[in-house]
Each structure stands twice: as structure tokens, then as C-alpha cells.
Structure 1
């Protein structure tokens, strides 16, 4: 078995013991991929100290056999055996079972639980996600590759920022180039906004046409082996006004202040407040966005989160975004976002696309 998955599985078994669980029913696809290596859907994993099963069906059985590390793959006959019955059949000597509660709806769980009589069931949230916060070397490489694809795709898309281009057209061009460069789809729905619409933190690309002097905000990411990058750039087409430049410089200073704090032992809240101090001291304080960043990996937004209430101490192997923003309704907005790996002594930036404000 691949040593990476052996290490992850051993760590999870130790967590089960600490939480006094005989086993864990893993339901989240990203969590299943992290623990087993299987990248498909329609799968359910059972993890105990002595037994590991991945339940799927004929559509994914062969693929699961080739991808799974350390798990016996079970092909369920969907016509003749319910999912709950199949799960129960493979819960060997299990009295107390945890389940991945964040990844199943009530109706689906009720259908399963009917078959799990005699077993104590405990909803578990965040057990695997906490383990995933610290990225191993292979994971870091995938995120860095995704970031490099996004960097190159943006470089190739820059000539398309011309007067008359629509948000939707430039977004499609960027997405096309990421996929041509090897991205497995998009890390999330691309945000591409022009003019006053840049005040929408998560706006949807539309028919707005770009004109000289307009704000441009684009937030996008690539995917490599399930791992995501996340980057935001803000520009002006042509010459910026004094007000536009002042907003951009404020956001850039806030990002730099946060980056300067990034190192092991610093809390998420400390990083957040370093950025917030710059925004609070500016004329644009009331238009600043909430929060500062988040972990990134198999999820676009995963632990740790960088905000006022999170006292998590950063550790070597965390990959986080730093993305302060100012959003002024009716006028426009600026956000700058990069991905950072926490190293032994500080941080390493993974996203390298340049930030010329005027293009």
C-alpha cells in the first residue's frame, strides 16, 4: 500500500480510539478520497482498526479496485440489497459507530439507519477534516501544480481584457485555458466582474461589457488530482483614478500586513487582525469584507479559517488563503488573494500571477 495512505489510515484509527469509537462510516467524497485514494462518487467507506471496506456499485467497481489503497472493495447489488443492509453486513463486531454527519441528508440517513439496529450511532463532524489541515508533501505538490496552471492560464487570458469584452466571454476564455493546461474542471464557479459589479464579493459573470477605467475582479482556481488553488486579482483597464488607486493600495497593504505574520505558532485571529488594522485605519473601513481567508485543499474552503474568533495556531503544512477586500456598492471593489504554505520558519507563496493594477 502507498505509504501516504497507510499513514493517513493509521492516524484515523488512532483518532477513533481517542473518541472511543469502534469504527467510522465515511460519507464525504473528499474524505473518502483522502483516506482511500478512490476519486469517484457513489461510495461509502467503513474504517475500523482491523477492517476497511469501500462499498460502491458496478459503475465504479473496477475504478475503485485500481485506486483504493488498503480497502477491500465491495460491489453492492443495488437491485437486491439496500445500502443500509450492505453496510450492516460489513460492520464486523461494531458496537459504537461514528458517521460522517456533514455529508448526508436526513432522508438518506433514515434509510440507512433502519438496518443498523443494535449499534450505537454517533454523528461525527470534522474528524477527518482536522487531519486534512496539515498537508503532506504530495498534497502540497498538487496544490502548487493547480496554482501554476491558474497562473499560466491568467497570463494567456490577459490580452482578452479589452474594451467591449463581456464578463462571461473572458471567464470562459480563462476556464478554457485552465483546462487546456491540465485542470480537472474548475475549483469553483469563476468570478469575473467588471465596473461597479466588482462590489459583489461572489458575483456571477454576465453580459457587462468592459470599458476603459473600469474595475476588474476575477477569482478563480484550477484542480489537480482533486486539490484546488484559489486566487483573486483586481485590475483597472487603462488609467486608474486617484480613488481607485487608493482603494487598491489599501487592500494591497492589508494583504502584506497579514502575510508578514504568517508562521507556525501564530493564531488565525492574529493574522486576521493584522490585516484588519490596515483596513480599519483607512477611509474604506466600513466597506471591508468579513474574514480574511481559509484553508484550501480537497475543499475550496476548509480548516483552518482566518477570522476574529479562530484561535487555531498555524502549523507547518497548512495551506491558507489571504484575501482582504473592499466592496463599495455602486462604485466597485478590490480583492487580492493568494495561497500560502506555512513552512518551518514562515510561509511560501504558491500563486505567482503578477498584480499590475493598470492593464
Structure 2
């Protein structure tokens, strides 16, 4: 990671801190350490970013030399465990600022009770603010280095999808198919998925967040294959549906409808359009196919970057968020939830350019039937 890239990200964060009248951001989570420190393999690390002045990164002393060479932060301080840990180091940093009633920001999803208690002990009069949305907003516009990593993840995904489709057949366990896909993706350089991947037999496709299990794939039915890959902390994801044997024609029609709906959504995807407009156009198409009452989701895509689903932007009903150039989103994972025949899904990771879009996941969308 180039230090100038990290410096720009820190400056953007500091600008937000000043706007929110916050003294500092306290960053403990891997996602935001990747983004704001420029290092993707740091464990036991934490980053203190003051609204004014130099940020400081804390890590295990044994890794100090490596972290200084690798990350984009100039001031790196090591600690010796178990005498110290990242929670204690961040608390000591805060106490040393000698601020009266400091206003501190951190992300609500990723701070532990231990982290919070140490900060509270160091500054009992502190006020806290959630920076989750701020961080997602800052991360939503990708630079070329981020995009290239996601392209590489997309190439690994294509190999994984091909391996899964080549091997899938009735009687296999879901996890057996996933194992073939993961092996193929790893051989192409994927460093793992950021979510629990899905190979789903038909009876499990109506669940909201299922993942590959020991369930046996049914014949004469759709199989959902939803995969993720990563490169140096950046991810891509893709979903396709394969039909085994002689499936119910209505299940096939649902998948064909979803494929067409995805094309409608992608055609509307451009800078200056609101997320709500994308959702409305897609929903209007689904309604023309007679599935409106089975289209139960209020969102059809998320930002993609360090997470597989980042919460800015969200392609959602009534959202006024305006899409911008170099945002990356996924479209269009929700299914059409018709009892007994619903469940097929499709999604791709897509980069929004000034003129047009680029699929970072490039794999055919033709409906696949396997006898």
C-alpha cells in the first residue's frame, strides 16, 4: 500500500471527525485497519486517529518491523503481550491527550467490551459516537489499487463457479460442491471468502441466510451456488443457479425473471442515479412478470469492497443515496419467494464507471441444466 494513499484516507477521516466535532477515531477492526492503515494481515492491532495531528498504530512488538515496512502509517508502536494489549495501548493514548470530556468515535459493530471499558477507565467523562456509516461512506469510492484487487478476486470466482458447476450432481452434499469451488479459487490466488458461502439444495433456498451444509442435493430442482473470493483484503462475490434433472418450469421462469431483472438494474446503474431509482425500475419489471407479491425484499444490492456487503451504498427501496463513479456494488441477490418453486438467485460484483459499468465477476449468465 502506498503511503500517499493511506495519507489521503486519513485526511478524509480527519475531515469527517472535525465535521462531527470528534477528538479522535479509535479503530480496532480488521476492515478499517485494512483501509486506514493499509495492511491486511495485522492481528492484535489498533489505530488511533486524532482529528488534528499524527495517527498512531499499535501492534505486537514482534511484528513491529514488518508492520512499519508494510503499512501506510508512519508512527507504529509495539507492545509486549500479555503485559499489554491493544485495548490498553489505545486507552493509554487517549489518557495521554489529557482532553476534558473527549468525544470519541468508533464503529459500533467491531468494538469489544474490553476495548470500551479500557477507554472508559482512561476517560470516564468521554462521549462516544458511531463512525460505522462514515467509514462505509469513505470506503465506497474505490481507487485503482482497490479495483485491481477486486478484479483478481473476480477471476478466482470464475474458476470456482466453473468447478462447482462441473461437479454438481444429485446426491452430493452441499459442502462437497463447495470444497471443489474453494480449491479452484485458492489455486487462482483467492485468500478466502469474507462470508459463509452457499451451495443450497432447493428445500433450503427460501431461508434468509443459509450456508453450505451436509444437506444432500435434490434431483429435478435448482441448486444455488453463491461464492466469494478475496485478494489482499478486497473481495468479490457472485451467485448463479444450476438446474438438475427436470426441474419445475416455474422455478426456471423465476430464474429467467431474475436474470432479466438484473439486466434492468445494471442498465440503470450510473453516477447521479439514486439507489431508490434502481430499486424501483427493477421492481417494476418483476411486477410485469406477475411476481410482485413474491418480491418481498426492500433491498437488491450493497456496496462491495473489504466486506462482501458494505452498508453504503445500499440499493434499497426509497433510498435517496446518490451513486457515484468508482463505487462497486452487487446486483441482484434476493430471490422471488414463491412457495415450493422459489429460491433461485443471481448476483454479480459491478464497478460503476463514468461511462457504463464493468463486471468484476465475469461468468456466463446462461441458464445451466444438468441431466
TM-score, length-scaled by structure 2: 0.89
Flag as ranges the 4+ runs of structure 1 deviating above 6 A: none
Q: Is the 8 A contact 2:164 2:178 kept in 1?
A: no
- Aligned-residue offset at 1:154: 1.5
Unpaired segments of 5 or more residues in structure 2?
Answer: none
Distance 1:186 1:209 in 2: 23
Mapped pair 1:213 → 2:220: yes
Q: Which moved more, 1:172-181 or 1:198-207?
A: 198-207
**Counterpart secondary structure, 2:343:** strand
CA RMSD of aligned residues (A): 2.3
Distance 1:152 1:206 in 2: 21
Q: Which moved more, 1:307-316 or 1:99-108?
A: 99-108
Match among 305, 330, 341 for residue 331 of structure 1: 341
- Aligned-residue offset at 1:8: 1.2
In the TM superposition, 1:1-359 aligns within 5 A as: 2-39=3-40, 40-48=42-50, 49-58=52-61, 60-81=63-84, 86-91=89-94, 93=97, 95=99, 96-102=102-108, 103-117=110-124, 121-290=128-297, 291-302=299-310, 303-323=312-332, 324-357=334-367, 358-359=369-370
Q: Deviations over 1:37-72 (max 9, x none)?
A: 122121111112322111122354343223221331
Q: Is the 8 A contact 1:200 1:327 kept in 2?
A: no
- Aligned-residue offset at 1:184: 0.7
Q: Which moved more, 1:31-40 or 1:51-60?
A: 51-60
Q: Is the 8 A contact 1:84 1:116 kept in 2?
A: no
Q: Which moved more, 1:159-168 or 1:78-87?
A: 78-87
Distance 1:163 1:228 in 2: 30
Count of residue correspondences: 359
Q: Is the 8 A contact 2:304 2:328 kept in 1?
A: yes
TM-score, length-scaled by structure 1: 0.91
**Counterpart secondary structure, 1:128:** helix
Unpaired segments of 5 or more residues in structure 1?
Answer: none
- Aligned-residue offset at 1:244: 2.5
